[in-house]
Amino acid sequence: MDQTPRSQHLHDTIEDYLHVLPQIRTGLSDQSAIEQRQQVIREKLGATAEEWSDYRWQLSHRITSVEKLSDLLPLEPGTLDQLSQVSERYRFAISPYYLSLIDPADPDCPIRRQSVPSIEELNPEGVLDPMDEEHSSPVPSVTRRYPDRLIIKVTNQCGMYCRFCQRRRLIGETDLAVDEATLRAAVQYVREQPEVRDVLITGGDALMLSDQALERLLQDLRSIPHVEIIRLGTRTPVTLPQRITPALVEMLRRYHPLYINTHFNSPAEITVEAKAACTRLADAGIPLGNQMVLLNGVNNNKYIVRRLNQLLLTLRVKPYYIFHPKTVQGTSHFWVRIEEGLEIMENLRGYTSGMAIPTYIVNGPGGLGKTPILPNYLLYIGKDKAVFRNWENKNFEIENQPNRVQHDPGHFE
């Protein structure tokens, strides 16, 4: 079909992306290889197909020892010692499902990089708690950094322990759910703060709580009239999608308005199972958002992030944040420069749907909070006009309005 000059030009602006697209590995494009690997892992672990699909089986069979890992995943000679050294300092746990996403032929596999310990974790650079969460906790398990919302951390457990985790100081040696009395005190704190209208339940991973324990907490929070919305933070759709059972979803839908933020970092994580999990949640009317962390060697690439965000929209997950990595000790090999994040943002705006464009965030150290970082589109603002550049680097200006008689829409005392 003939292209108008403008259509041809628009096509040309994404020619580079179209060229690399077939080379971007996704969990969906890799499905048959993943299924083969799952078959092998299942046989080695002696699991039936039914057990494999049960999140309790996945959790209780997480790979937590170097010996087990080396039995299930070919490792470079010489790395066993290194892995043992690292695992003595920082524990690891990988669900058999997430392990099956690793491409053993790819030494730079983004799944491997996020899940398998690396000797680089012993680099002492960084700090344990760059967010100073310990000092923004009015009562145990509550973090409060903003005026109208707060976090309740309900467990230190996760489906997998991500190698870049900002809360690795809390992961500890054993999985611990917060006890009932502490949770009750956290809810009581919320009850006594009428300005708190938004509560985020997280951990660890909020969906490591049993359905019953989570429902008790949701009921308690829903009994507080000033709690308008409840959010859950969970990476289970990515690392343990079996957790999103029909029973869980039926329970969650009784506590609307309820939002879930999940955490995909790579198109390789978008699998048939992850898609089914997100579909179940979205079908229950739960709005889904994605909080990606920008990670060296995983997603610090403009094409990978564009593809990830486009695929997330097909799963009905809205890309919400891209977090600049925090300087957590043991994660220095994941750190990136701010320019890399800006380049990614520059290559989203205009090149793909606005829906696929999250906010790039740097967290102010010491609890100073989320601060957006944007490429600069406003070049000048004066009394009469403002000058901008658009996504194609074309400049334009608009009139700035003169002061007019102000009409205040609110008449507040």
* Residues at the interface with ligand SF4 (CB under 6 A): 158, 161-162, 165, 167, 204-205, 235
Between 262 and 352, CB nearer to ligand SF4: 262
Place of tokens 């009562």: 139
Between 168 and 280, CB nearer to ligand SF4: 168
CB of 167 to ligand SF4, least distance (A): 5
Helix (H, G, I), strand (E, B), or coil: what is residue 5? helix
Spatial distance between the Cα atoms of 230 and 241, rounded to a whole number of angstroms:
21
Contact 169, 131 (CB under 8 A): no
CB of 6 to ligand SF4, least distance (A): 43
CB of 408 to ligand SF4, least distance (A): 44
Q: Could you tell me the CA-to-CA distances from 195 to 138, 148, 331 in Å, in that order?
A: 15, 5, 36
CB of 135 to ligand SF4, least distance (A): 19
Which residues lie closer than 8 Å to 43 by C-beta, 6 or more apart? Answer: none
Between 94 and 304, CB nearer to ligand SF4: 94
Between 158 and 281, CB nearer to ligand SF4: 158
Place of tokens 């000092």: 135
Please tell me what DSSP assigns to residue 401. Answer: P
Between 40 and 127, CB nearer to ligand SF4: 127
CB of 188 to ligand SF4, least distance (A): 25
**Which of 284, 346, 348 is CA-nearest to residue 316?**
284
CB of 127 to ligand SF4, least distance (A): 16
Which residues lie closer than 8 Å to 347 by C-beta, 6 or more apart? Answer: 302, 306
Show the tokens assigned to 226.
């000033």
CB of 402 to ligand SF4, least distance (A): 50
In the sheet that holds 142-146, the strands lie side by side as: 142-146, 149-153, 198-202, 229-233, 258-262, 288-293, 317-323, 359-364, 369-372
Helix (H, G, I), strand (E, B), or coil: what is residue 18? helix
Show the tokens assigned to 41.
């892992």
Between 132 and 346, CB nearer to ligand SF4: 132
Show the tokens assigned to 66.
């170097």
CB of 266 to ligand SF4, least distance (A): 13
Contact 350, 141 (CB under 8 A): no
Helix (H, G, I), strand (E, B), or coil: what is residue 317? strand
Spatial distance between the Cα atoms of 322 and 358, rounded to a whole number of angstroms:
6
Between 204 and 287, CB nearer to ligand SF4: 204
Between 58 and 352, CB nearer to ligand SF4: 58
Spatial distance between the Cα atoms of 320 and 357, rounded to a whole number of angstroms:
8
CB of 336 to ligand SF4, least distance (A): 17
Between 231 and 302, CB nearer to ligand SF4: 231
